[in-house]
Amino acid sequence: MEHSYEQYQTERQDRIDRYVLGRMTEEERKEFEQDMADDHELREQTVFTECVRRAVVSREEKLAKMRKWDKKTVPDVHSVADSGNRKPLYWISSIAAVLVVGFFVVQLMRTGSAGNGNGSMGLPAFFEPEMNVRGGSGYADIKGKIQNQKFAQALEQITNEEIALTKDSLEMCGTPGLSDEERESLRVLVSSKRADLNWLKAWALLGIDRKDEAMTLIDSFRGQVGEYTEVADSLYNLISTQ
Amino acid sequence: MYVLFIPIDMIKLFRRNKTSDYSDVELVVGLKKDDKAVEEACYQKCKTYFYANYRAVFFTGENEIDDLFHETYLTFWDNLKKGKIYVEDGEMKGKNGKPFRSSLTTFLMGIAKLKNLEWVRQNQLHNKDKNDDKEIWDSFMSTDENDESEFMLNYISECLSKMANRCRQIITMFYHEMKPLDEILDELTSFKSKNALKTAKYKCMENLKQCSNDMYEHYLNS
């Protein structure tokens, strides 16, 4: 008996479901609505079923949105209770980071300004107006181009200067009658000029985002004893940790 | 250039916190209008507040907290959408047009507390006076009893959150995903026949009806 009643209720629910979910034909729908008008319990159950449908749809739509927003949440909200304690730490670590960076920037600036009073980019104080090689005054020009972010032009000029330097050094070394001391002085001068050009080249390469080439050049300074060893080491480490 | 390195933490600190861009009034208005930006901002604000403060409001297990938050927020959202709290002349108002003096986050935590209480009662962990937090219960369960379907919807939504997972799964697949019983039977392999599934669904609906009637009785007698 109970099984029959349950079966009857189940089948009635089937019919209600078809109506609520819009699966009835026009004729079936009219017949059902007529039945509802005559049967209070049928009407009640139909209203209840429609409410269940609306509640479920509303719930799932909201849950879908919440799941989407949950994916966007970056910080771990389960540990957000500690966030109040972390804020001062963030400030302290941020200020410390700025101080560390500022230290390196000042170091670079000092290295650049040691000779000629400028060097906001850590450019070398190497310019010697009396230098008897072609293109001596062009290095200030290259530096100016880099400072004005004309990196491609600076690189082109550096290349020209390198060619000129090579040519000059060959010419000078080939000059007859030079003493060993004079040859050694020339060699040091050319080596110094090459280092200056390579240092400028590293900055120009960084400017046009050819970071790997720049880092190779900077790394080569670290391996030699020279004017740029320390500052190259600092710059290399700074860029590596970025 | 590489000269200036701005610490990422400082960038985060200076970045505008979107969840705090809206006032409670703006959130209530925005949620009523289904404003998507406001919906998300409100959710993130409530979520952050909930997880930061729930330990001070009630005790619950870590395994249940995520579900509790989602169910709480569903009720919170439903209530705001239905205008249980609304804005009139720039002022928030609640039941019977009285000024709503609490913050939305307080309202949220009140709902969470009640839900947790219901869960505790269901699990018979301890007995508490059913009139606890009656004011908050009234404010979020009150409804226009002249609107029969609205009245039922309110309690059915609440009961859906409390029903057994398997029942909720069947009801969701049938009424939300609109899957026919044959397809549900393929997915829920624990049911051996279509008739067994149909019977289970019928019983779930009966439980849902009983639950919502019980809630209405509780409301009438409180």
pLDDT for res A43:
94
pTM of the model: 0.56
The DSSP result for A212-227, as a single string, is HHHHHHHHHHHTS-ST
- Check CB contact under 8 Å for A51 and B149: yes
pLDDT, one tens digit per residue, over B107-136 is 999 999 888 887 777 665 444 444 445 555
Query: Could you tell me if A63 and A30 are in contact, meaning their C-beta atoms sit under 8 angstroms apart?
Result: no
Chain B's closest residue to A240, CA to CA, is B2
Q: Which residues are within 8 A (CB) of A91 and not within 5 positions of it... i.e. 6 or more apart? A: B13
Give, in order, the Cα–Cα distances in Å from A51 to each of A12, A33, A41, A198: 17, 17, 15, 78
Q: What is the 3-state secondary structure (H, E, C) of chain B?
A: CCCCCCCHHHHHHHCCCHHHCCCHHHHHHHHHCCCHHHHHHHHHHHHHHHHHHHHHHCCCCCCCHHHHHHHHHHHHHHHHHCCCCEEECCEEECHHHCECCCCHHHHHHHHHHHHHHHHHHHCCCCCCCCCCCHHHHHHHHCCCCCCHHHHHHHHHHHHHHHCCHHHHHHHHHHHHCCCCHHHHHHHCCCCCCHHHHHHHHHHHHHHHHHHHHHHHHHHHHC
Interface list for A 183-222 with B (CB within 8 A): 206-207
- Nearest Cα neighbor of B2 from A73, A74, A205 is A205
CB-side neighbour CA atoms (13 Å) of A217: 18
pLDDT for A232: 81
Q: What pLDDT score was predicted for residue A133?
A: 43
Q: What's the pLDDT at B13?
A: 47
ipTM for the complex shown: 0.78
Q: Does the CB of B176 have a partner CB in chain A at under 8 Å?
A: yes
CA distance A19 to A14: 9
Low-confidence ranges of chain B (pLDDT < 70): 1-20, 122-151, 219, 222
First to last CA, chain B: 69
Q: Which residue of B has its CA nearest to A59?
A: B74
The token duo for B56 is 């001070």
* Interface mutation vs chain A, best among B176, B193, B195, B212, most A CBs within 10 Å: B176
Q: Tell me what pLDDT residue A32 has.
A: 96
- DSSP-derived secondary structure letter, A1: -
Structure tokens at A69: 């927003």
Rounded CA-CA distance B116/B201 in Å is 27
Tens-digit pLDDT string for chain A (242 aa) = 556 888 888 889 999 999 999 999 999 999 999 999 999 999 999 999 999 999 999 999 999 999 999 988 655 555 544 555 566 777 778 788 888 877 777 777 776 555 444 444 444 444 444 444 444 445 878 888 887 888 888 888 888 888 777 777 667 666 777 777 777 777 777 777 888 888 888 888 888 888 888 888 888 888 777 778 878 887 887 777 65
User: Residue B9 CA to chain centroid, in angstroms?
Assistant: 34
Confirm or reject contact between B88 and chain A (CB < 8 A): no
DSSP secondary structure, A31-80, as one string:
HHHHHHHH-HHHHHHHHHHHHHHHHHHHHHHHHHHHHHHHHH--S-GGGG
pLDDT at residue number B16: 43
Interface test with A, best of B173, B175, B178, B198 (most A CBs within 10 A): B175
- The radius of gyration of chain A from alpha carbons, rounded to an integer in Å, stands at 40
Q: Which residue has the tokens 């009966």?
A: B206
Task: Answer positive or negative: Cα dihedral of B203, B206, B210, B212.
Answer: positive
What pLDDT does residue A16 have?
95
Q: Are the Cβ atoms of B205 and A206 closer than 8 angstroms?
A: no
Amino acid at B189: T
